[in-house]
């Protein structure tokens, strides 16, 4: 019974990932899926910075924690010494942890338990991180009056990879850029499209202007790349009909007895094209480092200090870069590499 529920939940979560939701909307809908199997009095989910495991957004379940307790909860998350912080769980191999498994002496010192949950009449907590391909994309804190069972913990652990894969997709889809709405396409194991958002039709028409069937060919290419990659993701930059760039990113979804892949299609920004432009202009590794510093707006002396080279050497590199890129100033260089930014 529990395994069947887990399979169903993973499929529902995979379907949510293909709906074009932002992270908050995705988590709000996924909370309902999980709560049907593991009910709570209070639950709060977070999206995490994949590099640092710092909380970047929070989404509450149907019942919000009273406002006066929110600052305390945030403080204890980063105070040090608290059991099962999200950052700590992100470093553990197991994605789920129960407060009941913590030694009593540590529980007695927990500010989160004693100053937040107990005053609310709650004393049992389950926490989980959403990890896929070695990276944590989100986390959940669940509390209630009664204890959580081992079966419930197993269920949550079994759906965390699906939640991570869906959160990874939502993190991309929420980043709308000018020049066409991002689209989402779900592709099955046969590389045939199963579902797509409305914007996908416009992208298909635009790319098929170049050659009939180009959109389907590109989908297949990035899907095959994602399935072959250890990370479960693959990205490609391709030209559009007007000579601009389009970014396609594919990510495997977690679904039982299936192999669905979700692909996002969007206009590529200057930042995503930097590596390609550096290569196109034939810049050396050191010249690329200098360019990154210039784009960040740093002075010659700051660049010299950060790269541990002399100011004279910085100027030599810049002279070489200007020649290769055919510009005469830092402002022109930034405009060529990152047209949406300017150096004053």
DSSP bridge partners of 265: 183, 248
Which SS3 state, helix, strand or coil, does residue 135 take? strand
According to the model, what pLDDT value does residue 196 have?
92
According to the model, what pLDDT value does residue 270 have?
65
According to the model, what pLDDT value does residue 224 have?
86
Which SS3 state, helix, strand or coil, does residue 177 take? coil
**Which residue spans within 198-279 are E strands per DSSP?**
233-239, 245-252, 261-267
- Tell me the average pLDDT across 254-263: 76
Question: pLDDT by residue (tens digit) across 166-214?
Answer: 988 887 654 444 456 889 999 988 888 899 999 999 999 988 887 778 8
In the numeric block, which tokens belong to residue 61? 């379940």
According to the model, what pLDDT value does residue 79 have?
72
Question: pLDDT by residue (tens digit) across 115-165?
Answer: 999 999 999 999 999 998 888 889 999 999 999 999 999 999 999 999 998
According to the model, what pLDDT value does residue 177 have?
42
Residue 44 has pLDDT above 90, yes or no: yes
- Tell me the average pLDDT across 97-125: 93
Q: Are strands 124-132 and 96-98 parallel, antiparallel or unpaired?
A: antiparallel
- Tell me the average pLDDT across 319-340: 86
Residue 61 has pLDDT above 80, yes or no: yes
Fold of 2-173: Beta-Lactamase (3.30.450)
- Tell me the average pLDDT across 36-63: 86
Average pLDDT along the chain: 86
Q: How far apart are CA 285 and CA 320, in angstroms?
A: 13
In the numeric block, which tokens belong to residue 271? 């930042």
Residue ranges per structural domain of the chain: 2-173, 183-268, 272-337
Q: Are strands 135-144 and 124-132 parallel, antiparallel or unpaired?
A: antiparallel
Name the packing angle between helices 214-228 and 199-208 (round to 10°): 110
What is the DSSP code (8-state) at residue 333?
H
Burial class (CB in 10 A: 0-12, 13-18, 19+), 103: exposed
CA separation (Å) from 258 to 86, 151, 231?
30, 24, 18
pLDDT band at 286 (very low <50, low <70, confident <90, very high): very high
Q: Which residues have C-beta within 8 Å of that of residue 149, sequence separation ≥ 6?
A: none
According to the model, what pLDDT value does residue 178 have?
43
pLDDT band at 328 (very low <50, low <70, confident <90, very high): very high
Q: State residue 283 phi and psi, 5-degree precision.
A: -75, 140
Fold: same for 2-173 and 183-268: yes
Residue in 69, 5, 68 with CA at minimum distance from that of residue 34? 5
Question: pLDDT by residue (tens digit) across 204-246?
Answer: 998 888 777 888 888 888 888 888 888 888 888 777 777 677 8
Looking at the chain, the whole-number percentage of residues with pLDDT higher than 90 is: 48
The CATH architecture one would assign to domain 183-268 is: 2-Layer Sandwich (3.30)
pTM across the whole model: 0.64
Fold of 272-337: Arc Repressor Mutant, subunit A (1.10.10)
pLDDT band at 278 (very low <50, low <70, confident <90, very high): confident
Residue 344 has pLDDT above 50, yes or no: no
Q: For residue 102, how far is the Cα from the chain centroid? A: 30
According to the model, what pLDDT value does residue 70 have?
83
- Tell me the average pLDDT across 74-99: 89
Residue 342 has pLDDT above 80, yes or no: no
Which SS3 state, helix, strand or coil, does residue 75 take? helix
Q: Are strands 42-48 and 55-60 parallel, antiparallel or unpaired?
A: antiparallel
Q: For residue 266, how far is the Cα from the chain centroid? A: 16
Are 53 and 90 contacting, i.e. CB atoms less than 8 angstroms apart? yes
Burial class (CB in 10 A: 0-12, 13-18, 19+), 134: exposed
């Amino acid at each position: 019974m529990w395994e069947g529920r887990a399979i169903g939940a993973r499929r529902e979560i995979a379907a949510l990932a293909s709906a074009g939701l932002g992270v908050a909307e995705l988590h709000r809908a996924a909370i309902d899926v999980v709560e049907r199997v593991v009910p709570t009095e209070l639950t709060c989910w977070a999206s995490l910075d994949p590099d640092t495991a710092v909380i970047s957004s929070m989404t509450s379940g149907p019942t919000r924690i009273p406002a006066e307790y929110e600052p305390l909860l945030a403080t204890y998350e980063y105070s040090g010494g608290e059991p099962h912080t999200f950052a700590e769980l992100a470093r553990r191999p197991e994605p789920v942890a129960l407060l009941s498994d913590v030694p009593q002496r540590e529980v007695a010192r927990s500010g989160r338990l004693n100053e937040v949950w107990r005053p609310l009449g709650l004393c049992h907590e389950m926490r989980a991180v959403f990890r896929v391909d070695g990276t944590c994309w989100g986390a959940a804190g669940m509390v209630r009056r009664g204890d959580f069972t081992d079966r419930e913990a197993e269920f949550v652990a079994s759906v965390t990879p699906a939640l991570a894969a869906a959160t990874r997709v939502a993190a991309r889809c929420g980043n709308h850029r000018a020049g066409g709405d991002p689209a989402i396409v779900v592709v099955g194991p046969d590389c045939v499209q199963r579902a797509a958002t409305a914007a996908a039709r416009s992208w298909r028409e635009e790319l098929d202007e170049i050659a009939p069937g180009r959109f389907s060919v590109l989908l297949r290419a990035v899907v095959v790349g994602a399935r072959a990659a250890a990370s479960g993701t693959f990205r490609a930059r391709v030209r559009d009909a007007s000579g601009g760039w389009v970014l396609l990113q594919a990510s495997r979804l977690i679904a039982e007895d299936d192999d669905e892949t979700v692909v996002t299609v969007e206009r590529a920004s200057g930042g995503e094209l930097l590596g390609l432009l550096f290569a196109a202009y034939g810049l050396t590794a050191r010249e690329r480092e200098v360019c990154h510093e210039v784009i960040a707006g740093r002075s010659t002396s700051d660049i010299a200090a950060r790269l541990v080279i002399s100011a004279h050497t910085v100027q030599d590199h810049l002279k070489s870069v200007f020649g290769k890129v055919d510009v005469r100033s830092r402002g022109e260089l930034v405009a060529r590499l990152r047209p949406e930014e300017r150096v004053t």
